[in-house]
Structure 1
């Protein structure tokens, strides 16, 4: 009888602890009961990165934590930049062409002629909604040989910009880091600078 009571108390204690944990938004952490990041190495320059948050986490928070983790891993692996790539470019699908290569880089792993951005995928239902973001990333340095335009992020810049947000568990505001465009034979430029804009209207004095 006492044994059953102890088991019942233990179950309720576990449930209470779980409820307490899941009552808060997912912090930046390795994957656990309430979410977090996990990653897997595909090759020397390519990783699969994932971050998911519980129902109390916003899409924007998950997106920022995902980008921060990508930047963190990029620096840990000795690279400066990272770009998000689809499975065809990471070797999951049959290669069709070349995209980027640098010293020690197996260029058969990079294909297609377009760049991609992360996609946030909400899942679950009711009060158990969770937001998840996952993608393969390709890391590279200034010596990368580009054959087409690609968009990516500066890891140091991402960490500097999102660092206060991550360390405060989302309490310190931080804008999303802006992407760069890398083009063969040119210095990197802000992606937003390449967006089309309306022509400036000319003004004639004295009219």
Structure 2
């Protein structure tokens, strides 16, 4: 009975995790959201705003930066502006190294098996003998360790909102409606 239930539970858990694993959609940042990350902004002056977009581990740098620009354009329109200038911009890259034991690995020794434990000696070609004891162990091929690196990006920009025509000589100035038109088709909104 246990041999049937355990694999079924693992499959169910994998399906639930797969459903939750997706890149951050274009959404306000909220603790109640099913997917971590999103945009936020704060007003720092009469026509100055700090805009931020935080992506999760499945969101690329390009997407994070595009969504930041899209949010800046949306905010410009919401505030009655026509264009905005990016005064300062930063993209932060965080790398987390995660080392986890394989959940399916269960050694055939330990407290459940009394005082018995394995002890191996092995030899690599052209080298001396090596010894492995689970209680004094260095990492070994049988340990079942999963290592991975998680990349996350957070972009922020200080913008100044303005009305009228976009200055042609300012390379940091963006027409808000043009940004919405250009990036809009690539924006993924939350499901549900």
Q: Which TM-score band (shorter chain)?
A: 0.5 to 0.7
- Does 1:161 pair with 2:182? yes
Q: Which runs of 5+ in 2 are unaligned?
A: 1-12, 98-148
Partner of 1:128: helix, strand, or coil?
strand
Q: What is the aligned partner in structure 1 of residue 96 from structure 2?
A: 125
Q: Any conservation in 2 of the 1:54–1:128 contact (CA below 8 Å)? A: no
User: Which one of the candidate residues 65, 76, 79 is aligned to 2:78?
Assistant: 76
TM-score (norm 1): 0.52
Q: Which residue of 1 aligns with 2:43?
A: 41
Q: Where do 1:45-60 residues align within 5 Å?
A: 45-60=47-62
- Identify unmatched segments of 5+ residues in structure 1: 1-12, 87-117, 170-207
* Per-residue Cα deviation, 1:71-112 (whole angstroms, up to 9, x for no partner): 0000000011111113xxxxxxxxxxxxxxxxxxxxxxxxxx
Q: Alpha carbons of 1:78 and 1:25: their partners in 2 closer, same or farther (altered >3 Å)?
A: same
Matched-pair contact (CA < 8 Å) for 1:79–1:140: yes
CA gap of 1:134–1:18, structure 2 versus 1, over 3 A, is: farther
Structure with max Cα Rg = 2
Instruction: Map Cα deviations across residues 33-76 of structure 1 (whole Å, 9 max, x no partner).
Output: 51000110112211110001011000000011000000000000
Does structure 1 retain, via aligned residues, the 8 Å contact 2:73–2:177?
Answer: yes
Residue 17 (structure 1) shift: 6.1
Aligned mates of 1:29, 1:168 — CA distance in 2: 7
User: Take 1:167 and 1:25, find their aligned partners in 2: how far apart are those partners?
Assistant: 9
Q: CA RMSD in A?
A: 3.0
- Relative to the length of structure 2, the TM-score reads 0.55
Structure that is richer in helix per residue: 1
Paired residue total: 123
Aligned residue in 2 for 1:24: 22
Give me the whole-angstrom Cα distance separating, in 1, the residues matched to 2:87 and 2:17: 36
Q: Could you tell me whether the CA contact under 8 Å between 2:73 and 2:180 is conserved in 1?
A: yes
- Aligned residue in 2 for 1:94: none
Distance 1:17 1:138 in 2: 43
Distance 1:55 1:153 in 2: 29
